[in-house]
A and B are shown apart, each in its own frame.
Chain A
């Protein structure tokens, strides 16, 4: 009798420990993975990124005239006739496409030339100097609108400072 009882209680405790062995790993691993994947990993990457690549890590903010005027990577909405304009953003996938094709840039040259008096050939040269997007056998050429306009201001400070002050 006593042996039987002992056997039964052993079997029961085994059963108990098996039940226990499912709940503990599941809950334990869920919490450990939450901490490791959801907190430690992104925080470590944030630390390293801020330490070594602060410019990229904070969104490539462009400084001009002593203040932040936008990000290199986010389409900046230019509307004045003296600047190159970005895409019609309802047509892009991100709605903040920062780039335009070369054809698009060339097609805007007559308008800018008319508004500023800068000769078309100079504008075309400026566009060509700012082409990016190709490397080795990859990619197709485009221009970044913000960078192109900043190059324009830098090239013709007298014209642009006057227009922007107005």
Chain B
């Protein structure tokens, strides 16, 4: 249970997040509506050079198919570049530790993982990747997958804007996401992180002799620049195998709070962006209310058990409270960074983490979380419409049978790509090959691996021990389908909204009302519980009733 002062910590943190992201939201809206701004004199010349060099016609708008295919193709080319860098690592510069090249399957897993914003890591960065790889494969894809995600999110919103002509131009959105959003924010965040103790050097690992005469290696590198984008871009993949539990990645309780803030900032801002972009600010109400009431439920579940101050898997400087809180945040915004070892977590905290990854919009990863929330709103309107006998309408537009089919397809891809590989992992012996037992604990670990992959979250129990052909290839496929499948469906819905007739909407359901928010939250819970309950019952819930406290080790 929470102590009053801990509850106060959370309230204060959220107040800061909500206020900052509210202001950031109007800036984000200006980026994507391309309103003239005093920043143009700085950014536009740079952007114009990029457009000219790459032959982008910045005034051309795209339909959903072209928008999606441009994003997919660009991502695939970026994966290819990063793949080449990883498999030729040993011949490339900035490798003072002389790390060898990655195997093809580990490189494949890694590039798909980072290009899909998942950041599942089957390697420990400090023992596997050169400085060059950390920069040009990992950080590179962290930036580009974040820019791709937020572009697609904004494109989906454009479909709902009155008199919209198209979903926008993907290349322009991608470039502006980087130049105007991620580079400035990450620049400030990196410098602050360095000041607070996160290293940023290319000088190689140093060896020191301790007071007692033993030798010790100090594993430094270009860490701060990576941490800034991994948190702001809801990527989550760390410089070190222990991720944000490693002191160089997260040195103090202050950096811990700062990194939680960075994770929540853009996803929360996007909930406000929705209402501002479609010109009806009140329509953000169900998005914000839906996301944060589910977040509250997540927190309550995770904080039912008593919080240990410091136990196995918990770092002393964070303690049980901030470790549990981090776990809830990182799975809610699908970042996937960890500041503890998940094996030290209580089954109920793991249950809460599963919830975050299964709903995917609490408030979810940047861009994609918002897309999922719009999906849930459409499902809810459809259900409410059926119950009350009214034509389902959203923002005055009729919801058609095709919309509902696409929404259900987007939703059902998820359980399919989780349960099939989970079963195959046990049936084929791949699970026991890496020492996973056929108990509620082992089942939870494997289920978590695939839920995390499908949700493009990336936190996991295994780390480098899952570096086997089976897990590298299977999770890579799950991550790929889990990212681009729903993206295609949701952009298709949005694309079909363009030019759709709008009624005045006097008879339709009011989506900005409190009753609708309540029904929305209930429908999301119902959908997710009905779909996933059998999986969860065999995993964390069974572990809880078997009396395990923190024995996911």
> A81-107: which residues lie under 8 A (CB-CB) from chain B?
83, 87, 91-101
- Provide the bound-state CA to CA distance between A91 and B341, in Å: 10
A86 to chain B, nearest CB (A): 9
- Provide the bound-state CA to CA distance between A125 and B459, in Å: 41
- Provide the bound-state CA to CA distance between A96 and B126, in Å: 13
Structural contact, B203 and A58, CB atoms closer than 8 A: yes
B165 to chain A, nearest CB (A): 19
Does A22 interact with chain B (Cβ within 8 Å)?
A: yes
Residue of B57, B81, B186, B208 with highest tally of chain A CB at under 10 A: B208
Structural contact, A92 and B316, CB atoms closer than 8 A: yes
Q: Which residues in B have their C-beta under 8 angstroms from that of A41?
A: 139, 143, 183, 186-187, 225
Q: Which residues in B have their C-beta under 8 angstroms from that of A30?
A: 74, 77-78, 81
- Of B139, B183, B197, B216, which is within 8 A of A73 by CB? B197
> A54-101: which residues lie under 8 A (CB-CB) from chain B?
56-61, 64, 67-80, 83, 87, 91-101
Does B35 interact with chain A (Cβ within 8 Å)?
A: no
Structural contact, B140 and A45, CB atoms closer than 8 A: no
A69/B194 contact (C-beta < 8 A), A29-B175, A33-B144, A58-B199 known: no
- Of A33, A38, A48, A57, which is within 8 A of B199 by CB? A57
Q: Which residues in A have their C-beta under 8 angstroms from that of B147?
A: 33
Q: Which of B153-161, B245-253, B530-538 contacts A (4 or more CB under 8 A)?
A: B245-253
Q: Which of B37-45, B284-292, B306-314, B489-497 contacts A (4 or more CB under 8 A)?
A: B306-314
Residue of A49, A75, A95, A149 with highest tally of chain B CB at under 10 A: A49
> B261-315: which residues lie under 8 A (CB-CB) from chain A?
309-315
Does B206 interact with chain A (Cβ within 8 Å)?
A: yes
Q: Which of B47-55, B105-113, B420-428 contacts A (4 or more CB under 8 A)?
A: B47-55
Does B224 interact with chain A (Cβ within 8 Å)?
A: yes
Does A50 interact with chain B (Cβ within 8 Å)?
A: yes
A83 to chain B, nearest CB (A): 8
Across the interface, name the chain A residue whose C-beta is closest to B248.
A73
- Provide the bound-state CA to CA distance between A46 and B208, in Å: 23
Structural contact, B171 and A74, CB atoms closer than 8 A: no
- Of A38, A49, A138, which is within 8 A of B139 by CB? A38
Structural contact, B53 and A94, CB atoms closer than 8 A: no
A76/B211 contact (C-beta < 8 A), A93-B340, A137-B9 known: yes
B-side interface residues, number (CB < 8 Å) = 87
Structural contact, A34 and B136, CB atoms closer than 8 A: yes
Give 21 A-B contacts (CB < 8 Å), ordered by A residue: A24-B55, A25-B74, A31-B81, A33-B178, A41-B143, A45-B190, A45-B224, A46-B202, A56-B195, A57-B201, A68-B208, A68-B209, A69-B210, A72-B197, A76-B216, A77-B212, A78-B212, A93-B339, A101-B310, A137-B9, A150-B211
Inter-chain pairs besides A31-B81, A96-B247, 5 sampled, C-beta below 8 Å: A26-B74, A29-B171, A45-B224, A68-B206, A94-B315
4 interchain residue pairs of minimum CB distance:
A28-B54, A38-B140, A93-B245, A38-B136
Using a CB–CB cutoff of 8 Å, the interface residues on chain B facing chain A are: 5, 8-9, 12, 50, 53-57, 69-70, 73-74, 77-78, 81, 135-137, 139-140, 142-144, 147, 171, 174-175, 178, 183, 186-187, 190-191, 194-203, 206, 208-212, 214, 216, 218, 220, 222, 224-226, 229, 240, 242, 245-248, 251-254, 257, 309-317, 319, 321, 338-341, 344
Using a CB–CB cutoff of 8 Å, the interface residues on chain A facing chain B are: 20-22, 24-34, 36-39, 41-42, 44-46, 48-50, 53, 56-61, 64, 67-80, 83, 87, 91-101, 133-135, 137-140, 142, 149-150, 153, 164
